[in-house]
Structure 1
């Protein structure tokens, strides 16, 4: 026997309203958990619930234009930290070499003094 067909089919209009409500709820949840605006836009785009007119590529391009100003300060700080580390390493190496030379000279002098006596 063929399966029974019922007259209970969802209306197309009801499905559209339900999808919009679900998308709004998803946007609220994403906005709650997003750390910043770009993170929220990225998550909404990944879920497919971004608002009409919001294009991830445009938002990303705008954020990248603003980002180099901030990153240049970090890059200069990192470079200065590396330079200071190198300078301190060189200074410690020189100091250890000088101290080892001094100890060698003092041991030679004590050996000579003990031989003469």
Structure 2
């Protein structure tokens, strides 16, 4: 397997991890009240992402120090992306029937995917 294949597998692993953590494993506690800055449900949700990222990065042989740094930064970034989307959506009382609701969801998801691309970029340089 060449380097490009490994890189694409890492990106795919992050995408699958995101699908599971962001959609299948979220519950009402993680969602309700997320517009408040310090929200334990959002922290738990970002923590789920961090745990799964540990697994992904470990499978790809990431050195422990880099793995820890990447996961901590991902936790902080994920926490803040979700908080910003929640704050924006709640302040405007956005509903799924409104275009701006979907703009917020799409922007949130795009920022998460860009986070993974940055993580992979850093990983490549290790």
**TM-score calculated relative to the size of structure 2:** 0.27
Greater Cα radius of gyration, structure 1 or 2: 1
Higher RCO (C-alpha under 8 Å, 6+ residues apart): 2
